[in-house]
Amino acid sequence: MTIDRLGGIDPLKNVQNTQKAHRAGDVSRPDSISVSDKAKELSEVYQVMEAAGSAPDVRSERVAEVLEKMKDPSYINKSVVDLVADRLMDVYGL
């Protein structure tokens, strides 16, 4: 049984028949995109969810302890206020 070639196998034929790519005629217009309001909203929701997921959990026993301390009028003094202010500034990088 004989099998004849239908198209021939010539590796140079593919290289020889290629043509140079043509450049697009009008390149003066810059590329641009537009983002819908819905996509912006979803992006904000995603960022908030990421921030909430990476935030530390609330320690309820610590919160209860601080609330008890705040019931005492002598607890809140200048040193406590300064300490809280310093810690808040550290949290916000100020």
Residue 79 within any structural domain of the chain: yes
Q: Is the whole-model pTM more than 0.75?
A: no
- Between the CA of residue 39 and those of 36, 45, 60, what are the distances in Å? 5, 10, 36
Residue 13 within any structural domain of the chain: no
Residue 70 within any structural domain of the chain: yes
Residue 64 within any structural domain of the chain: yes
pLDDT score for 88: 92
Written as tens digits, the pLDDT of the chain (94 aa) is 666 666 556 655 655 555 666 666 666 778 889 999 999 999 999 999 998 888 777 788 888 998 888 888 887 788 888 998 999 999 888 8
* Domain count of the fold of the chain: 1
pLDDT score for 28: 74
* Domain range enclosing 78: 59-94
pLDDT score for 30: 82
Residue 53 within any structural domain of the chain: no
